[in-house]
Amino acid sequence: MARQLRAEQTRTTIITAAAELFDRRGYDSTSLSDIVEQAQVTKGALYFHFAAKEDLAHTIMEMQSRASRQLAKEMDSRGYSSLEALIRTTFGLARMAAEGPIPRAGLRLATGGVDVRPPLTHPFTEWLDITSRRLMGAVKDGDVHPDLDVDAVAHSLVGFFVGTRVVGRSLEHVALQPRRIAEMWHLMIRALVPVPRRARYLSLATRLEREIEAG
């Protein structure tokens, strides 16, 4: 049992080290030797758990995907309106990125450097599906304009969300991500939500930003 626990701890250490380097340097600029040094393990320990760098990358992407699906499921279970659930999901993803390297690395890997292989679904495909379903629910709830082009808005929202992180990675600290997500929603809410319902959702976006920043 103790040996199994040590093996799991070593595996976690390797994954975390790889995620930190993939997030900071990118997949192509990170070598297995870099990961060994960052994790402070032997190459033998790394190869015991992962046959190649690509396997590490896919493990990180799978972990991020699982966490994203769990977050979306949690929002579904809380009885929020479709639009509120969508807004809370994006802030939840921002919170996860601020708290740990695996969500950040997963997003960076998804934007280039690694081909997503089955059975893993590309994270952006999952996010588009979640966003489209929530927007269709918001149309039924009357929280967005009834003539909304759901597919177009879903693509715009996912692109906006991913873009804030890609740009932010080069220009600013990840701690500013909640601010950027709030800015995104203040723009989108004004474009999508009928005037009588805007105040509720604008207030929600501001409150969620402050909650994350307060920590």
Residue 171: the pLDDT is 73
| Residue 176 · residue 97 · CB < 8 Å | no
Q: What is the pLDDT of residue 195?
A: 97
Q: What is the pLDDT of residue 213?
A: 81
The domain spanning residue 60 has which CATH number? 1.10.357.10
pLDDT on residue 175: 77
pLDDT at 35: 97
Residue-wise pLDDT tens digits, 50-67: 999 999 999 999 999 899
> In which domain, by residue range, is 118 found?
2-214
Q: What is the 3-state secondary structure (H, E, C) of the chain?
A: CHHHHHHHHHHHHHHHHHHHHHHHHCCCCCCHHHHHHHHCCCHHHHHHHCCCHHHHHHHHHHHHHHHHHHHHHHHHCCCCCHHHHHHHHHHHHHHHHHHCHHHHHHHHHHCCCCCCCCCCCCHHHHHHHHHHHHHHHHHHHCCCCCCCCHHHHHHHHHHHHHHHHHHHHHHCCHHHHHHHHHHHHHHHHHHHCCHHHHHHHHHHHHHHHHHHHHC
pLDDT in tens, 109-132: 988 767 887 788 888 888 999 999
Would you state the pLDDT for residue 36? 96
166 touches 111 (CB < 8 A): yes
> pTM for the complete prediction?
0.89
Q: CA torsion sign, 141 to 144 to 148 to 150? A: negative
Report, as ranges of residue numbers, the positions in the chain whose pLDDT lies below 50: none
User: Structural domain tally of the chain?
Assistant: 1
pLDDT at 83: 97
Q: Are 59 and 27 in contact (CB under 8 A)?
A: no
